[in-house]
């Protein structure tokens, strides 16, 4: 027998809350917002990013250091997000394409990562947050950035910032 209307509505609301948390993660990474990043995880959460495996506090420090030392801009985009809710636990698989711009040995380069976030979310005190994340590597590419194809400075009046000075925070 199918789920009743109230159960289906609650499941949809739960999935939307989880999806919103996934998108806040991307904003936090791309804007280098450590506070926002920590807020999408439960305090006792774990993250396995391959090079890093550990608790959320250490993960936030590790990823912020890496982002600031290696890249001048990043963009993370999620697709094919499948969320399966089972009471107060949910499992999500999200395909991630991330694009990074950085300098190595005096040359600008583009680094592209394609993989998946495999997450266990838990609802605690009414909030869905990541309890465990495993980042799955599918493929990557690194190539020199075609700087001759960049737009001239000032071509856009609003440009992305890796801080709370980004236009998204000026609401």
Cα-based distances in Å from 167 to 19, 30, 122, 163: 22, 13, 31, 10
Average pLDDT over residues 36-64: 98
Alpha-carbon span 26 to 40, nearest angstrom:
10
Beta strands in 89-166 (DSSP E): 89-104, 107-124, 127-144
Return d(Cα 22, Cα 129) in angstroms, integer. 9
In DSSP terms, 46 is beta-bridged to 55, 132
User: Do you know the residue count of the chain?
Assistant: 171
Half-sphere exposure of 154 (CA within 13 A, CB side): 0
CATH topology of domain 5-169: Nuclear Transport Factor 2; Chain: A, (3.10.450)
User: pLDDT category, 2, cuts 50, 70, 90?
Assistant: confident
Alpha carbon of 88 to those of 84, 130, 171: distances in Å? 11, 12, 32
Tens of pLDDT, residue by residue over 64-116, are 999 999 999 999 999 999 999 999 999 999 999 999 999 888 889 999 999 99
Cα separation of 87 and 97, whole Å? 30
pLDDT recorded at residue 156: 79
Query: pTM score, two decimals?
Result: 0.93
Q: What is the pLDDT of residue 150?
A: 64
- Please answer whether residues 103 and 69 qualify as being in contact, where contact means their C-beta atoms are separated by less than 8 angstroms: no
| Token code pair at residue 168 | 């998204």
Please compute the mean of the pLDDT values over residues 147-167 and round it to a whole number. Answer: 80
pLDDT-derived band of residue 3, with 50, 70 and 90 as boundaries? confident
Mean pLDDT of the chain: 94
The answer to whether the beta carbons of residues 83 and 170 sit under 8 Å apart is: no
Six-digit token string for 27: 């904003």
């Amino acid at each position: 027998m199918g789920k009743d209307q109230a159960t289906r509505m609650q499941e949809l609301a739960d999935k939307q809350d989880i999806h919103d948390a996934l998108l806040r993660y991307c904003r936090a990474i791309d804007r280098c917002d450590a506070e926002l990043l920590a807020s999408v995880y439960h305090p006792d959460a774990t993250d396995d990013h391959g090079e890093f495996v550990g608790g959320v506090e250490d993960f936030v420090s590790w990823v912020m250091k890496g982002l600031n030392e290696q890249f001048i801009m990043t963009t993370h985009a999620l697709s094919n997000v499948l969320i399966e809710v089972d009471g107060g636990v949910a499992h999500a698989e999200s395909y991630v394409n991330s694009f990074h711009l950085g300098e190595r040995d005096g040359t600008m380069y583009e680094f592209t990562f394609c993989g998946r976030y495999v997450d266990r979310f838990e609802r605690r005190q009414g909030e869905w947050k990541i309890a465990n994340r495993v980042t799955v590597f599918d493929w990557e590419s690194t190539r020199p950035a075609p700087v001759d194809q960049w737009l001239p400075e000032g071509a856009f009046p609003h440009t992305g910032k890796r801080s709370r000075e980004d236009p998204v925070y000026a609401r």
